[in-house]
Structure 1
Amino acid sequence: MNDASKDSQPVRDPYPAYAAMRSECPVQAVASGSSGRHSYLVTGYAEARQALSDARLSKDTAAFFAGKDSKRQLHPAVAHTMLASDPPQHTRLRKLVTGAFTSGAVTGLRPFITGLTDELLDRWPADGPVDLVADLAVPLPVMVICEMLGVPEGDRSQVQHWSAELFAAGEPARGDAASYAVAEYMTGLIASKRSRPGDSLLDRLIAAHDGQDRLSEEELVSLAVLLLVAGHETTTNFLGNAALALLQHPTELERLRSNPEAIPQALDELLRFDAPVSTSTFRFTTEAITLGGTDIPAGVPVLVALGAANRDPRRFPAPDRLDLDRDATGHLSFGHGIHRCVGAPLAKAEAHTALRAVLNRFPNIRLAVPAERLEWRPTRLIRGLDSLPVLL
């Protein structure tokens, strides 16, 4: 499992390996690289929900790595985001950003999302081929989150490049360098907005306070970087994975094309079927616990395989079948508990708009290459396609 980046098959289709591990034991010790140390991988649904909401599993990476010799040199604003914190720190930070991603706030963004989607699709040639990832799944969420944060249009392609570099598998130096580049950029943007205030989300974060408690400069930069990166990486992979699933299931695709009102419900099943985040972000045990019948000592990492949990037959019968009639609410693709993705409503709105527009405009859309020739991003955290060539 830890050599997935060296073997294309587990990256292309990790689900058989997940199923084998889950049937053996839903919580197992796995080797962590060549260090001889072990982490624990959770592949069962019930066990994953428990792990994601168990206060004994900390996300405070600064506490875990204190005094340890880490090989990574990430910028502190990237290494220590809201995602890498526990209550009460996490509670305070999340409260200050949640309002920007409510259903009401997202509804206000829909005209911009729709107009941007139409603008991107207008550039597609009549017949193709088109790379649905590069020509839609990447630029749409990047431009939306950049618009929300007030990132100037001329900077957006560079910002997207830095974000992609952060997830460069097997090349930590590239990710480390990108972390400094994007953090320094956001530091400069915050300074610029202080001198010329506007009405973007970043401007509101600069002014945000909870009583007398304002965000510190370090917290501002960290939140800005997190929103920028998390605000489009997940949605990019969600769009690509969902489009591929539909193209491989033409009957289901045709059902949505002929009944676009069913798309909102279908989104949960598409998220369950191929989660855009394969493994949740870092957690570690603060004390010895028992999870899924497995005893886990204190002070060790616990990795929750969201994609594996979503295909646990104990929760979702016939989990390897895409069934758009299935009630897939309760899937874990956005996490669970206090760390559930705050941007989930925005991701769904973007996916809904994009899929509806593509299916309406291009009723004959199909894969341009066999599915087995598609390249997947070689990373265990993010599950997404490098490209998705289609004919129109």
Structure 2
Amino acid sequence: MATVSPDLSALVSDPHTTYARLREAGPAHRITGPDGMPVWVVTRYADVRRLLADPRLSLDKAHRLPGNYRGFSLPPALDANLLNMDPPDHTRIRRLVTKAFTPGRVDRMRPGIQLLADRLLDAVADRGHADLIAEFATPLPITVICDLLGVEQDARRDFRAWTDALIAPDPRNPGAAKRAVAAMLTYFPQLIADKRRTRGNDLLSDLIDARDDGDRLTEDELTSLAFLILFAGYENTVQLIGTAVLALLDHPEQLAELRDNPDKVEGAVEEFARFDGPALLAIRRFPVDDVEIGGVTIPAGETVMLSLASANRDPDRFPDPDRLDVHRRDGGHLALGHGIHYCVGAPLARLETQIAVSTLLRRFPDLELAAPRDDLRWRPSMRARGLIALPVRF
């Protein structure tokens, strides 16, 4: 199959239309990635779901052939995380993480998240307008993640700058990403050392103490986990809150229904994630053997990207998939992954989004978009789906 190059601007501004064309044309396509290297993109729900759980697709970069797209390179102390591991290392570390990151811990965070959501909206209520990304969707999860990790207040502004530099690099500042990585390599070991001396009521302290038959996390594993929790837990939730609110503004009748029936917001979060989730593509994978998909053979060692966004709009799985339907209950979306690499922080992302949306609709029942819909700008990323700003009035 010939290498193709979907227009990057279309993948950013209108990925669902682009993926619909690719999905219709075939189950897998060898395209040119943003770095000019070839990458296979898998588009259909059944294939994406199956391959998310297929042990023949490794996350370990050791299986990558030279000359293939591999994504952002990180130093070993940040790279040794769950998104770059296969069993048995993945199994061991995930088991230790789940001992600390329990449903009970997430549920105990509910009152604090609710208080924070109200406080953020208090700050803009009298003004009558706001940028919901900068003033609500961003500060809410970064504060939650910093509380979760036990990060002091004076370091939180740095956390936000570091993640922004990695996720949406500014071409005018090409050294920002490297400086962010260097800063995190300095900060996280220091934070872990502080927690070792004085434990707190936070996840990082619990990860230090987590044991399984005498096993425990190494310094590099703790550092890379702290980085992953910050990076994934913050950015994905910002994007999910932003796209959820925009979807409701685009569908005012469904916004009104959730506003009048706040108990339905929890179920609607699943539809928000399916309809316009934060990750267009799952983390890259490398086949350890040749893999066949619908008559297309992907050679071992090449780079494979599984399109979560395309799978979640596949009409063979979801009826009328391009329509937001907060009543949809057929489930099974892949926005948060599937199989052994299913997002460990999914319950927290769901809780934050539920509280954010329900609080916003309760506090500002006349919420509406304050800019032309076509003027909204998206982050220039082929992998992540997120608004740069969401101006509203109320």
CA distance in 2, matches of 1:92, 1:348: 25
In 2: Cα distance, 1:203 partner to 1:15 partner: 41
Q: How far 1:177 sits from its partner (Å)?
A: 2.7
**What code does the residue aligned with 2:365 have?**
P
8 Å CA contact 2:101–2:203 kept in 1: the answer is no
CA distance in 2 between counterparts of 1:374 and 1:290 reads 39
Does 2:159 correspond to 1:159? yes
The equivalent of 1:123 in structure 2 is 123
Distance 1:317 1:232, change over 3 A: same
> Helix, strand or coil for the counterpart of 2:124?
coil
The residue that corresponds to 2:393 in the other structure is 391
Give the equivalent residue in structure 1 for 2:195: 193
CA positional deviation for 1:213: 1.3
Alpha-carbon displacement from aligned partner over 1:29-55 (angstroms, at most 9, x marks no partner): 1123565x5221011000100110100
- C-alpha spacing 1:222/1:291, structure 2 compared with 1 (3 Å): same
Q: Give 2:79's aligned residue.
A: 79
CA shift for structure 1 position 168: 2.4
Task: Give distance in 2, aligned partners of 1:47 and 1:107.
Answer: 34
Summarize deviations over 1:74-97 as a string: whole Å, max 9, x none: 222333321100001001111111
Query: Does structure 1 conserve the Cα–Cα contact (< 8 Å) formed by 2:63 and 2:288?
Result: no
Look up the equivalent residue of 2:11 and give its one-letter code.
P
Residues 267/49 of structure 1: CA separation in 2 closer, same or farther (3 Å cut): same
TM-align CA RMSD:
2.1
Alignment of 1:27 onto 2:22: no
2:39 touches 2:69 (CA, 8 Å); kept in 1? Answer: no
TM-score, reference length from structure 2: 0.94
C-alpha distance in structure 2 between counterparts of 1:232 and 1:17, whole Å: 27
Q: Is 2:15 the counterpart of 1:14?
A: yes
1:145–1:231 contact (8 Å) kept in structure 2: yes
- Tell me if the contact between 1:40 and 1:303 (Cα under 8 Å) persists in the aligned partners: yes
Query: Where does residue 39 of structure 1 map in the other structure?
Result: 39
Amino acid at match of 1:14: P
Q: 1:325 Cα shift? A: 1.1
Bigger drift between 65-74 and 181-190 goes to 65-74
Give 1:336's aligned residue: 338
Give matches, 1:254-333, under 5 Å. 254-333=256-335
- 1:305-363 deviation per Cα after TM superposition (whole angstroms, max 9, x unaligned): 11111000000011111111111521010011100101110001011111111100101
TM-superposed deviation, 1:98: 1.7
Given residue 27 of structure 2, which amino acid in structure 1 is its aligned partner?
Answer: P
Partner Cα separation in structure 2 for residue 379 and residue 177 of structure 1: 20
TM-score, with normalisation over the residues of structure 1? 0.94
2:60 aligned with 1:60, yes or no?
yes
1:117–1:110 Cα change, 3 Å: same
Deviation at 1:229, TM superposition (A): 1.1
Instruction: Tell me the CA shift for residue 292 of structure 1.
Output: 2.9
Structure 2 CA distance for aligned equivalents of residues 72 and 236 of structure 1: 21
Cα separation, partners in 2 of 1:146 and 1:51, compared to 1, 3 Å = same
**In structure 2, do the counterparts of structure 1 residues 290 and 73 end up closer, same or farther at CA, with 3 Å as the change threshold?**
closer
When structure 1 is superposed on structure 2, of 194-203 and 304-313 the one drifting more is 194-203
Alignment of 1:221-232 (within 5 A): 221-232=223-234
Paired AA for residue 129 in structure 1: H
1:230-267, Cα deviation, whole Å (9 max, x unpaired): 11111010000000000110000000000011111111
1:216 equivalent among 212, 215, 218: 218
Q: Deviations over 1:281-318 (max 9, x none)?
A: 11011110112331111110110111111000000011
165-174 or 347-356, which moves further after superposition? Answer: 165-174
Q: Distance in 2 between matches of 1:56 and 1:73?
A: 23
What is the distance in 2 between the residues matched to 1:221 and 1:204? Answer: 14
Counterpart AA for 2:122: D
Distance 2:131 2:168 in 1: 20
The answer as to whether partners of 1:61 and 1:80 remain within 8 angstroms in 2 is no
Shift of 1:228: 1.3
Given that 1:45 and 1:310 are in contact with CA atoms closer than 8 Å, whether structure 2 keeps it comes out as: yes
- Higher alpha-carbon deviation: 209-218 or 339-348: 209-218
* Matches of 1:154 and 1:170, distance apart in 2: 24
Report the residue type matching 1:31 in the other structure. Answer: T
**Distance change >3 Å, CA 164–CA 62, structure 1 → 2:** farther
Name structure 1 gaps, 5 residues minimum.
none
Q: Give the partner amino acid of 1:267.
A: V
Mean CA deviation greater in 98-107 or 81-90: 98-107
For residues 201 and 41 of structure 1, what CA distance do their matches in structure 2 show?
35
